[in-house]
Structure 1
Amino acid sequence: MTLASLTKPWQPMSYGFLDGSAKREIRRKMLKAIAVPGCQIPYASREVPMARGWGTGGLQISCTLIQPKTRIKVIDQGADDSVNAASIRRFLARVSGAPTTTDTLEADLIQSRHRIPEERLRQDQVLVLQVPNPEPLRPVQPNMSIARQMHADADYGRMWLQLYEQIVRAGRVMQGASYPSLVNGRHVMTPSPIPRWDVPKLHMAQHLTILSAGREKRLHAVPPFTRVEPLVFDDVPYAVEDHARLTCHRSGATGFFMNEIPQADGTSIHEVSDSDLGVKVINRRDGDPVHIGETWYQHGEMS
């Protein structure tokens, strides 16, 4: 064995931007997270050309999983054309040579901020969610050492108390995005700042979901066909946002999660949050042969 045989010609960067040792570590941590669903796994978050808090955790997972033939889709708040989504998509394509797409059904790897697509994902697709704060106990226990001990003991009494206090004071659970959910009957996780509308999409889903927080240096996972149950009392059922009767002013789609757009006269109009679905509905209305996959919700009800 010679030293030359152990080296490679100099390159400006490794494939997928991250070096080999970083990818190996992240892969090991992802396997551990899949083996223990919902459990937070620490990892050495690397520096990427993006500010902390803008998706560095999801970007590192995507850079680790991406291959030259992987079709990439990146969305931000449901939109493919936002600045953050376009920048991450362009960066991933540049460092990997992989093709990009805005079609949920065509994508192999979907990186998302704050939303899960309305069309159902398949077994061969991977969803990567950006997570600003992976610790669900932080609002009730700011000391992270004690919070980790509470996770080890499955001591989530303070979270139940917080939900109870909301019901007593407001008559309903006020927790909106990042609704705490019990994974596989053991660990409570925060499912990233997705709305309550999207949390049921994780329950017994066919696809793998990886949630990563680069700033907090932690990741967790929801493997396929895993129970994800929002924390609810037996006599106060879980309720999603009341968007079932809203209609998109552009596409005419109904029964999906909508963005509210205030108008100058004080009224509001609504637009379907999943921009790809909205475009498909418009193209189908115009007579184009567009295939829309099966959606999680039918007429505002979980199917």
Structure 2
Amino acid sequence: MKIEYNFAFFDEGSKREIRRATLKAIAIPGYQVPFASREMPIARGWGTGGLQLTLSLVGKEDILKVIDQGSDESVNAVNIKKLIALTTGIVVTDETTEATIIQSRHRIPETPLQEDQILVLQVPIPEPLRYYEPSEYETKKLHAEHEYSGAWLMLFEQIVNYGAMSTGADHPVMVHSRYVMAPSPIPRFDNPKLNQNKALILLGAGREKKVYAVPPYTKVASLDFADYPFRVETFQDKCCRLCGAKDVFLDELLNDITGEALYQCNDTSYCLQRMNGISKE
């Protein structure tokens, strides 16, 4: 028996409801907008928030790219691509420059995004104040009152304990000088890419039923102190062993024979593109 779905899986009413929440999120940068998160054919926590955003926005002419921690071929990325392609018939690509919609988990592509692109980030914990305030009611009050001293206190405690801010990922940011926002578990290396980005950036948390956004050309600043400025991960004097790229986020690998540390581009598509360019030369 052949089972047929509506275009992009959802019924049109569900798409409209998610789009309305998305429009409100775009109108109020960094603000978490509640939405009626739907049941999906994948488990919550595996990107259902981002997937719902993508399915509500995708059109027949769109080109889709899905990455998971920099990889186009991880289990999560492959299965999300399969679901979207099977229910829409749209073209899927690994090239960042070709895609109109890019859904990502834990990374922003190395290739700069453009004005005609949408980046959808999967989010596990959308509330940046949750680490020190468990009550949803209280966190909403803190956002409304612009009371973010707890966020700075959290970073100050890291400095006291470790001598530096120790957030490896999901370092909180201030959006449009108004809302403190969780940028999703992207590494600190990717935080500066949020600032004045040409693309529309949408963030969806399916389990927490929240959507929020960073519109194009929006000011985004990572929280820090004057005497302890925000710093990204550094790979000084290191380059990708495959394409030779520098100034990108690198994965550290270990040579099983020599025990030597090797470095490789985390963004597999970017690395392959560079290698193809080098081979043509």
SS at match of 2:49: helix
2:247 matched to 1:276? no
1:145 to 120, 126, 137: 137
Selected match of 1:243 from 221, 224, 235 = 235
C-alpha distance in 2 between matches for 1:204 and 1:110: 18
Rounded Cα–Cα distance in structure 1 between residues aligned with 2:24 and 2:212: 9
> Residue 25 of structure 2 is aligned with which of 1, 17, 33?
33
CA distance in 1, matches of 2:193, 2:212: 17
Q: Report matched runs for 1:93-242 at 5 Å.
A: 93-242=85-234
Residue 254 of structure 1 aligns to which amino acid in structure 2? K
1:268 CA drift (Å): 2.2
Identity in percent: 47
Between the two proteins, the alignment pairs up a number of residues equal to 278
Partner of 1:63: 55
Which residue number in structure 2 is paired with residue 292 of structure 1?
A: none
Deviation at 1:244, TM superposition (A): 4.1
Q: Deviation digits for residues 83-129 of structure 1, max 9, x if unmatched?
A: 11111111111111110110000000000000000111110000000
- What is the identity, as a one-letter code, of the residue corresponding to 1:249? R
For the pair shown, the structure with the greater C-alpha radius of gyration is 1
Quote the residue 1:90 is aligned against. Answer: 82
Looking at structure 2, the residues matched to 108 and 271 of structure 1 have their Cα atoms a distance apart, in angstroms, of 27
Residues 244 and 256 of structure 1 are in contact (CA less than 8 Å); yes or no, is this contact kept in structure 2?
no
Verify: 1:48 aligned to 2:40, yes or no. yes
* Partners of 1:245 and 1:255 within 8 A in 2: no
* Aligned mates of 2:106, 2:28 — CA distance in 1: 23
Instruction: Name the CA shift for 1:23/1:244 in 2 (closer, same or farther; >3 Å).
Output: farther
* 4+ runs deviating over 2 angstroms: 262-268
CA RMSD of aligned residues (A): 1.2
Gap runs ≥5 in structure 2: none
Calculate the TM-score normalised by the size of structure 2: 0.96
Give CA-to-partner distance per residue, 1:165-210, whole Å, 9 cap, x none. 1112211101120000000011000000000000100101111000
* Residue in structure 2 matched with residue 17 of structure 1 by the alignment: 9
CA offset digits 1:4-42 (Å, max 9, x no partner): xxxxxxx83211001111101100000000010000000
Distance 2:277 2:19 in 1: 40
Structure 1, unmatched stretches of 5+, are: 1-10, 289-303
CA distance in 2, matches of 1:221, 1:27: 12
Decide which moves more: 127-136 or 82-91: 82-91
* 1:267 aligns to 2:260 (yes or no): yes
